[in-house]
């Protein structure tokens, strides 16, 4: 196992955790359109979590590509 396999596993776990941390509504009904409010601007910690998730997804994708190239 090379380093890219470890990077892929760690980044996959972290992306999963970050996605589960992010909440978009109070309940399942809010996620399915039950809530009347629409948040269009991310602020504070929500913005930071969103940006960190994007960075980790890029790292995850790059590690998969590097794993394929390294074989």
Measured CA to CA, the distance from residue 12 to residue 42 in angstroms comes to 23
Q: Domain ranges for the chain, please list them.
A: 1-23+43-71
CA-to-CA dists, residue 69 to 5, 62, 63, angstroms: 12, 10, 10
Tens of pLDDT, residues 10-65: 999 999 999 999 876 554 445 555 555 565 677 788 888 999 999 999 999 999 99
Measured CA to CA, the distance from residue 25 to residue 68 in angstroms comes to 38
- Alpha helices by DSSP H, listed for the chain, are 3-21, 28-31, 45-70
Comparing 71 with 52, which gets the higher pLDDT? 52
Tens of pLDDT, residues 54-66: 999 999 999 999 9
What is the reported pLDDT for 1? 76
- List CB contacts of 16: < 8 A, sequence separation 6 or more: none
**What pTM value is reported for the model?**
0.72
């Amino acid at each position: 196992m090379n380093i890219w396999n470890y990077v892929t596993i760690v980044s996959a776990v972290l992306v999963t955790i970050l996605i589960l941390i992010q909440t978009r509504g109070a309940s399942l009904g809010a996620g399915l359109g039950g809530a009347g409010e629409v948040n269009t601007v991310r602020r504070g910690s929500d913005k930071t979590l969103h940006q960190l998730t994007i960075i980790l997804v890029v790292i995850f994708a790059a590690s998969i590509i590097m794993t394929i190239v390294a074989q």
